[in-house]
Chains A and B, each alone.
Chain A
Amino acid sequence: MSDLVHTFDSSLMQRALLEALMAGALAGVVGVHVVLRRLSFFTMSLTHATFPGLVIAGMLGISLFTGTAAFGLLVVVLIASLARVRRIDSSTATGVVLAGGFALGVVLISSQPGFSKDLTGFLVGSILTVTTADLVTTAIAGLVILAVLAALHKELVLGAFDRDGLVAMGYPVLVLDLVLLVAIELTVVTTIPAVGTILSVALIVAPAAAARLWTDRVGPSMAIAAGIGAASGALGLVVSNQWSIAAGPTICVILSLVFATSTIVSPRHGLLTRRRRSAGPLLAIGA
């Protein structure tokens, strides 16, 4: 037990904890929008297709965040405009860009020595080596993203549920769409250097999908998702430190377990509780 308490004694683990808490909370909030609008595949695609940005930034010696953020904007525009082409649906557009973008990154990086090591870091992250600069980037980007989401909360939520209503009220819907896609993009590129592509997707989707099983309201589900994201990050670090397992994948597995547990035991939508209700009253209209 004393081991567990002392997990975060070193400054290395403290930085990792801070990053996990911030990334978890940020991704949880953004993830609620992702899940509401079914943008999981878009998120997945972003994590892979921004890879060339990272490689190019490394080659040019500019900041990795700037490189991936700029390249990510390109990817967003590319997917959104491809999806508007006739006979290309958004799923196909997303898939084509995912594969093409990632392959471009691989071709670029394969010309450099030490290629497989960099790639592994990109995929599974290295949260234990986050620097103070990374933390500052996450904090600032996170605050900006959360401020924008808070300011446009009503419009974005209405856009997810009743787009026609939003159009009728005269809101610039395409601009709102773009703002949301860019917010997701910035969340992805903010979290990737620390946690890697796979965990970035997991942090965004899993807590929000789990939160949706616990509440019907958007605001509270953001709070729950942020809590699940941050808590899973902290718990993952403890577990990974205790049994020396890679930190990123451990957090990922914990997130999946939280989600799986929620699908079974959540009070209103869980598999267990639903089964019990089906044997219940004849008139259960809200079910």
Chain B
Amino acid sequence: MRLLTDPFQAGFMQRALIEAVLLGVVGGVVGVHVVLRRLAFMADALTHTVFPGMAVAFLLSGSLYVGALVTGVASAVLLTLLTRNRRVTSDAALAVLLTGFFSVGVILISRSHTYTADLTVLLFGRVLAVDLAEIVATAATGAVVLAVLWLLHKELVLRSFDPDAAAALGYPIGTLDLVLNILITLVVVSAVKAVGSVLVIALLITPAATARLLVRRHVGLMMAVAAAVGAIGGWLGLVISYEGSLQHGWRLASGATIVLTLTAMFLVVLAASAVARRRHRPDEATDESTTDHPLLDPHEPLIDDAMAIGSRP
């Protein structure tokens, strides 16, 4: 047990732990919506499109947070415009936006002489160098995000599972989608500086995917499990990278170690649930291996089509 608490005697490790747990909880809860609505690529794209804003802020010594927020929202609007054209599927539009924005960011930041180091920080963050102001910003953003999710819980869940019913009840689907996208943007923006873009994707997807394997239907419970998985993954990941570096001399990048810990938790749950299911219904496994399902289903939208708010008649 000491092993789990000992690394957190130093102040920087305590701050890293608070940040990682905060982001794990918020990422897990929002992530349930990301996973239910299949918005993983959207989340991934956002982590890249905030980059030019951060680069500009970085060069002008402005607030990275504001810079990221501006380009995050701008890319959400552009995406809506692009997907107005029915010939352009939302996944292709996302890929073009992502690569275009990211490249502008790289061109901007390549003007600075500490180019490669800066790029690495923006991608992988510096969770061990988080300061108190960043923790406060993360906590405040997280509180806003969770409050909005709580207030709109019923509407957002119904919209995920039964969009037709939600529309029939008169819910403003377009507005709900926009709210969710902005919430995802907020999480990405508050996390990307501290933990880097790759860890943000993992925090938004992996804990929620794990929870979805464990919880059958109840979305609230799924969120609680995802939050717990995210928080535990952050904690364990920090312990592993600290102990690995200190005791064994492996230099394990802390952000990436957290991602690997989350992935390992997902794989363990996946294996356990596969074993459990096979024990209950041994014939089910053979059901699924028909040739009717493509290896990667082209008809299963990778991005929820409702992303294309403007394309609705």
* Complex alpha-carbon distance, A119 and B291, angstroms: 40
The answer to whether A99 and B206 have CB atoms under 8 Å apart is yes
Q: A39 an interface residue at 8 Å Cβ cutoff?
A: yes
Q: A250 an interface residue at 8 Å Cβ cutoff?
A: yes
The answer to whether B88 and A120 have CB atoms under 8 Å apart is no
Q: B130 an interface residue at 8 Å Cβ cutoff?
A: no
The answer to whether A100 and B206 have CB atoms under 8 Å apart is yes
Q: Which residues of B contact A91 (CB under 8 A)?
A: 38-41, 302-303
> Which A residues, 199 to 221, have Cβ-Cβ distances below 8 Å to chain B?
199, 201-202, 205-206, 208-209, 212-213
The answer to whether A94 and B96 have CB atoms under 8 Å apart is no
Given A85-B270, A111-B251, verify A44-B96 contact (CB < 8 Å): no
The answer to whether A160 and B41 have CB atoms under 8 Å apart is no
> Which B residues, 32 to 51, have Cβ-Cβ distances below 8 Å to chain A?
35, 38-41, 43-44, 48
Q: Which residues of A contact B257 (CB under 8 A)?
A: 103, 107
Q: Which residue of B lies closest to A109 (CB)?
A: B253
Q: A153 an interface residue at 8 Å Cβ cutoff?
A: no
Q: Which residues of B contact A111 (CB under 8 A)?
A: 250-252
Q: A80 an interface residue at 8 Å Cβ cutoff?
A: yes
Q: Count A-side interface residues using an 8 Å CB cutoff.
A: 80
Q: Which stretch in B61-69, B119-127, B153-161, B176-184 binds the other chain?
A: B119-127
Pick from A36, A43, A123: contact of B95, CB under 8 Å: A43
Q: Which residues of B contact A84 (CB under 8 A)?
A: 288-289, 293
* Complex alpha-carbon distance, A159 and B299, angstroms: 11
The answer to whether B103 and A256 have CB atoms under 8 Å apart is yes
Q: Which residue of A lies closest to B203 (CB)?
A: A99
Given A198-B103, A199-B99, A213-B88, verify A42-B251 contact (CB < 8 Å): no
Q: A90 an interface residue at 8 Å Cβ cutoff?
A: yes
The answer to whether A103 and B120 have CB atoms under 8 Å apart is no
State which size class the interface on B falls in.
35 or more
Among B96, B213, B292: residue with most chain A CB under 10 A: B96
User: How near does chain A come to B87, taking the closest CB pair, in angstroms?
Assistant: 5
Give the secondary structure class of B's interface: helix
Given A116-B119, A119-B123, A199-B99, verify A107-B253 contact (CB < 8 Å): yes
Pick from A120, A202, A246: contact of B99, CB under 8 Å: A202
The answer to whether B256 and A110 have CB atoms under 8 Å apart is yes
* Complex alpha-carbon distance, A209 and B89, angstroms: 8
Q: A106 an interface residue at 8 Å Cβ cutoff?
A: yes
The answer to whether B44 and A41 have CB atoms under 8 Å apart is yes
The answer to whether A271 and B259 have CB atoms under 8 Å apart is no
> Which A residues, 71 to 126, have Cβ-Cβ distances below 8 Å to chain B?
79-80, 82-92, 94-96, 98-100, 102-104, 106-107, 110-111, 115-117, 119-120, 123-124
Known: A99-B206, A119-B119, A263-B88. 15 other contacts (CB 8 A): A44-B41, A48-B198, A84-B289, A88-B213, A90-B302, A95-B205, A95-B206, A96-B202, A103-B260, A116-B116, A205-B99, A206-B99, A209-B92, A249-B110, A259-B96
B-to-A contact residues, CB < 8 Å: 35, 38-41, 43-44, 48, 82, 84-89, 91-100, 102-104, 106-107, 110, 115-117, 119-120, 123-124, 198-199, 201-202, 204-206, 208-209, 212-213, 250-253, 255-257, 259-260, 262-263, 266, 270, 274, 277, 288-289, 291-303
Can you give 20 A-B contacts (C-beta < 8 A)? A38-B302, A40-B95, A41-B94, A41-B302, A85-B213, A86-B277, A88-B209, A88-B212, A91-B303, A95-B41, A99-B199, A99-B259, A102-B259, A106-B198, A106-B255, A110-B253, A174-B291, A181-B295, A202-B96, A209-B96
Give 10 closest A-B pairs by Cβ, nearest first: A256-B100, A95-B40, A103-B259, A100-B263, A252-B103, A99-B202, A249-B103, A202-B99, A116-B120, A110-B253
